[in-house]
């Protein structure tokens, strides 16, 4: 009884202290439009009305608190199924896939937190991302991570800890994946099945286990309030220490194909940032504004696109307006406040961020092997020497293996079957496959740098405006 009364008294004194200190109640709310970063826990058929179950990949924050932990379970349905664009359909047919493809859009309707609490919600209809998340095996030993106290979330009262970490796997394209890539790593059986299905001209359509979604909320989610005192906000809005890293969510979709120097860029803090003394510096919801500095679109012969942008100012969220009106960090015109440190791209090509914050699409060096292999297969398909191929005439019995390889190179399994009708058909398919391989791997345009709205990034803060230059 005494213990209970003590807690009540302590709470009353804390509230009175906050009131006397000019404190106020800050709502803990996840705004509409903020995405839940999810991955499927089981295979999902592309069928309208099919139930969906996914897990939260990264925690969600409100102001300075973690309100949706990683591992929370989201449930929903496939709300709509529609055909892809004509160009995508044409490309798959040219590659030998004649399945009437569909794109599934998913809506999530509920969320179950690790403590069992259920929350009703609704997300916008969203398509799957071109990436797969593979859950670490329980048998695998976790890798040691370097501590980063500046990005930990202890809250103003030190009650929570940020565990957000980008664990997005690279983009998966099953049609160009090799057998050795398929049988290595976790989920070997499922990967092998996917690989075999993808080589057939007709196959079932589904989304793999681990397929990722960024599902934006259609309405805000509330998680109560917390009392904030002025004394806890001494560092609020000040520019963080040089080289500290923050996690942000991009509000402006960007692509090197259309961006121009001077274009405006906006982002929002996805997780709070604290100073070394655990004082809150930037809460979740603080907005950053900047501009594009360099933009160069991709060109032929696989010359990749480039993009570079930085941020010059920060604006505090409306929730802290009036607590510290002078809280705003801004650099003189033209001087960067923060530059890009790491990011996940939204395009087909992987990206690389350099030391100055520039981003370039990456081109695989192994692409030079594909034309060489295609040339050997095409030559094999064109080798119709009756003596070497154990045939007595020029009929369809000559060079069966060469025709099969040539047909497969041109149009997959369907082409391999059709090529048995004539040696000339097999040879034509072989050279068609060679021409397509040379064009796509050597002549075509390089990859573009693409960032979708809500893309997650890490930014690194520069030297403060009033700091002496470093030598």
Strongest mean pLDDT among 61-75, 195-209, 319-333, 392-406: 61-75
Please determine, for residue 165, whether its predicted confidence score (pLDDT) is greater than 60. Answer: no
CA distances from residue 158 to 154, 188, 237, 246 in whole angstroms, order as listed: 4, 42, 19, 18
Residue 252 has pLDDT above 70, yes or no: yes
Supply the pLDDT for residue 137: 62
pLDDT band for position 195 (cuts 50, 70, 90): low
Cα separation, 352 vs 361, in Å, equals: 6
Residues 196-225, mean pLDDT to the nearest whole number? 82
User: pLDDT-derived band of residue 4, with 50, 70 and 90 as boundaries?
Assistant: very low
Q: What is the pLDDT of residue 388?
A: 54
To the nearest whole number, what is the mean pLDDT of the chain? 74
**108-122 average pLDDT score:** 94
Instruction: Please give the residue that has the higher pLDDT: either 251 or 424.
Output: 251
pLDDT value of residue 172? 29
Q: Cβ neighbours of residue 157 under 8 Å, at least 6 residues apart?
A: none
Cβ–Cβ under 8 Å, residues 171 and 350: yes
pLDDT 10s digits, 269-288: 999 999 888 888 899 999 99
Average pLDDT over residues 33-42: 93
The string of DSSP codes covering 368-397 is GHHHHHHHHHHHHHH---TTTTT-SSSSTT
**Confidence band for 122, pLDDT divided at 50, 70 and 90:** very high
Token pair in block for residue 105: 């859009």
Predicted confidence (pLDDT) per residue in 95-104, tens digit = 666 666 668 8
Residue 346 token pair: 């939204």
User: What pLDDT shows up at residue 201?
Assistant: 63
pLDDT for residue 407: 63
Higher-scoring residue by pLDDT: 163, 464: 464
pLDDT > 80? residue 267: yes
Tell me the three state secondary structure of residue 99.
coil
pLDDT of 208 above 80: yes
- Report the interhelical angle of 423-438 vs 369-382 (nearest 10°): 170
Give the lowest-confidence range in 175-184, 401-410, 439-448. Answer: 175-184
- Closest among 54, 64, 72, 70 to 119, alpha carbons compared: 72
For 196, phi then psi, to 5°, come to -70, -40
pLDDT at 113 over 90: yes
Q: What pLDDT, on a 0 to 100 scale, did the predictor assign at position 148?
A: 42
Overall pTM surpassing 0.85 (yes/no)? no
Q: ∠ at Cα 176 (170, 180), nearest 5°?
A: 80
Write down the residue that tokens 């030993």 correspond to: 141
Paired tokens of 108: 């999530």
Mean pLDDT of 152-169: 35
Please report which confidence band the pLDDT of residue 383 belongs to, taking 50, 70 and 90 as the band edges.
confident
With 80 as the cut, is the pLDDT of residue 206 above it? Answer: no
């Amino acid at each position: 009884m005494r213990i209970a009364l003590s807690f009540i008294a302590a709470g009353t004194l804390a509230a009175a202290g906050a009131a006397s200190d000019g404190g106020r109640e800050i709502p803990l709310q996840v705004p509409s439009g903020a995405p839940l970063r999810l991955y499927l826990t089981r295979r999902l058929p592309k069928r309208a009305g099919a139930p969906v179950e996914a897990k939260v990949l990264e925690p969600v924050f409100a102001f300075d608190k973690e309100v949706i932990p990683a591992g929370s379970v989201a449930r929903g349905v496939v709300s709509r199924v529609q055909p892809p664009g004509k160009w995508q359909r044409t490309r798959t047919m040219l590659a030998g896939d004649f399945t009437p493809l569909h794109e599934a859009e998913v809506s999530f309707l509920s969320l179950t937190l690790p403590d069992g609490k259920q929350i009703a919600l609704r997300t916008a209809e969203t398509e799957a991302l071109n990436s797969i998340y593979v859950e670490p095996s329980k048998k695998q030993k976790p890798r040691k991570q370097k501590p980063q106290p500046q990005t930990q979330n202890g809250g103003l009262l030190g009650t929570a800890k940020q565990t957000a970490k980008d664990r997005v796997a690279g983009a998966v394209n099953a049609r160009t994946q090799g057998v050795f890539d398929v049988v290595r790593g976790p989920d070997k059986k499922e990967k092998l099945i996917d690989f075999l299905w993808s080589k057939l001209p007709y196959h079932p359509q589904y989304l793999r286990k681990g397929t990722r979604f960024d599902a934006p909320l259609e309405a805000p989610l509330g998680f109560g309030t917390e009392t904030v005192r002025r004394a806890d906000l001494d560092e609020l809005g000040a520019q963080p220490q040089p080289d500290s890293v923050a996690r942000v969510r991009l509000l402006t979709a960007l692509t090197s194909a259309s961006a121009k120097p001077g274009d405006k860029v906006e982002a929002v803090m996805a997780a709070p940032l604290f100073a070394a003394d655990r004082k809150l510096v930037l809460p979740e919801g603080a907005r950053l504004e900047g501009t594009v500095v360099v933009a160069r679109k991709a060109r032929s012969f696989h010359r990749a696109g480039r993009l570079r942008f930085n941020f010059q100012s920060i604006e505090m969220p409306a929730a802290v307006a009036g607590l510290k009106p002078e809280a705003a960090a801004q650099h003189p015109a033209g001087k960067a406040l923060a530059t890009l440190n790491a990011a996940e791209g939204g395009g087909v090509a992987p990206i690389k961020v350099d030391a100055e914050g520039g981003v370039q699409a990456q081109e695989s060096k192994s692409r030079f092997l594909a034309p060489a292999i295609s040339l050997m297969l095409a030559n094999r398909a064109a080798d119709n020497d009756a003596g070497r191929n154990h045939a007595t005439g020029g009929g369809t019995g000559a060079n069966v293996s060469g025709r099969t390889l040539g047909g497969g190179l041109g149009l997959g399994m369907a082409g391999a079957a059709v090529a048995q009708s004539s040696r000339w058909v097999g040879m034509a398919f072989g050279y068609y496959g060679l021409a397509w391989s040379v064009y796509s791997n050597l002549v075509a345009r390089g990859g573009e740098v693409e960032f979708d709205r809500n893309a997650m990034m890490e930014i690194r803060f520069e030297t403060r405006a009033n700091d002496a230059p470093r030598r």
